[in-house]
Amino acid sequence: PLVLGIETSCDETGIGIVRGRQLLSNTIASSMDEHARYGGVVPEVAARAHLEALQPSIERALTEAGVTLDDLDAVAVTSGPGLAGALMVGVGAAKGLAVSLGKPLYAVNHLVGHIAADILTSDDRATAPLEYPTIALLVSGGHTSLLHVRDLTTDVELLGETVDDAAGEAFDKVARLLGLPYPGGPQIDIASADGDPRAIRFPRGLSKASDMAKHRYDFSFSGLKTAVARWVERAEAAGEQVPVADVAASFREAVIDVLVTKALAACEDRGVPRLLLGGGVIANRRLREVALERAAAAGVAVRIPPLSLCTDNGAMIAGLAAELIANGRGPSTLGFGADSTLPVTEIQVSPA
């Protein structure tokens, strides 16, 4: 099926068009620059930017895919989780588009969309089919989730998630306290280049034996952020020059260590020798490196979608809907809305 997907859960207005698993176009307009001076995504600013970007993005995606609205078999949209106001803009647009075209509408889960990104193929990307079950680690500015995926369209289990800040959010906050600009992930990466990751031993959240009993697959990054803040304050109070490279590298190592350790623990516990990575934080080269190295040692195969499909995009939303259609699932009834806390187990919202 030819599907157009609309993604507006955070600061990317993503429009993607797929034919089955084949990626035809994927346009992304980001309002990231507008959030930079606030050091994080401002919901109202994001919602307004979506409103402005949607129409031109849809036109561009259609042109790039070489198809027209009439050609579409279905429209897909992210219903949640995400920022309520931002989601609402996409949901409203998708309903309007589907109703006016008389096409079926599929309301889907953003997090499951991140997994679906991995099944898409394009001219420069042929990929072996996703094998089940797989453990999935999704890390972005808004999410840090560990999932057990038995089937993309029917069975996704939440193993654990962050109890406070998301991993990307931690990068952004620590960058800010080191005086680096937003978004912090890439900045911390650059700053870490000459740093020693073992210079400072920062805490690994929820990793003590006493925490592991209840939070084996959960993450916590706010304690780490506070530890970095304290360390910098102490150095400044002592009149020392803050070794930004060492602090950045040590912080980055602490985040990565916990992410990879818990993801591989899930693989081992569940007897699943496959790990799928997704979300914008996967752009972190060191994270990919450590994950690949330690997974290989543990006999776990790692899959990483191309980075353009790891950050928020519409193609993964269209891809998930196309997969639902291929599995005989009917469209969503129009009663659904935006659900900022949609659980990952709800893969499709209000199916007929």
Minimum distance from residue 189 beta carbon to ligand ATP (Å): 4
Q: Is 14 helix (H, G, I), strand (E, B) or coil?
A: strand
Answer yes or no: is 71 a known binding residue.
Answer: no
Minimum distance from residue 311 beta carbon to Fe ion (Å): 7
Per rule CB under 5 A, is residue 145 in the interface with Fe ion? no
Minimum distance from residue 289 beta carbon to ligand ATP (Å): 12
Answer yes or no: is 339 a known binding residue.
Answer: no
Residue nearest to Fe ion (CB): 312
Among Mg ion, Fe ion, ligand ATP, none, what binds residue 82 when CB lies within 5 to 8 Å by partner kind? Answer: ligand ATP
- Please calculate the CA angle 310-316-317 and round it to the nearest 5 degrees: 135
Q: Where are the beta strands (DSSP E) in the chain?
A: 2-7, 12-19, 22-30, 74-80, 105-109, 134-139, 144-151, 155-161, 274-278, 301-303, 348-349
* φ and ψ at residue 144, rounded to 5 degrees: -145, 100
CA quadruple 291, 167, 41, 138: dihedral sign: positive
Distance separating alpha carbons of residues 258 and 287, to the nearest angstrom? 11
Minimum distance from residue 109 beta carbon to Mg ion (Å): 17
Per rule CB under 5 A, is residue 30 in the interface with Fe ion? no
How big is the site for Mg ion, counted in residues (CB under 5 A)?
A: 3
**Of 272 and 282, which has the nearer Cβ to ligand ATP?**
282
**Of 205 and 331, which has the nearer Cβ to ligand ATP?**
205
Answer yes or no: is 189 a known binding residue.
Answer: yes
Answer yes or no: is 124 a known binding residue.
Answer: no
Q: Is 135 helix (H, G, I), strand (E, B) or coil?
A: strand
Give the one residue of 12, 165, 172, 312 binding Fe ion; rule: CB under 5 A: 312
Distance separating alpha carbons of residues 138 and 310, to the nearest angstrom? 9
- The 161-180 site mask, x for binding Mg ion (CB under 5 A), equals --------------------
Q: Which residue, chain included where needed, has tokens 């808004």?
A: 142
Answer yes or no: is 337 a known binding residue.
Answer: no
- The 193-232 site mask, x for binding Fe ion (CB under 5 A), equals ----------------------------------------
Distance, C-alpha 134 to centroid of its chain: 17
Query: Footprint of Fe ion on this chain (CB under 5 A)?
Result: 140, 312
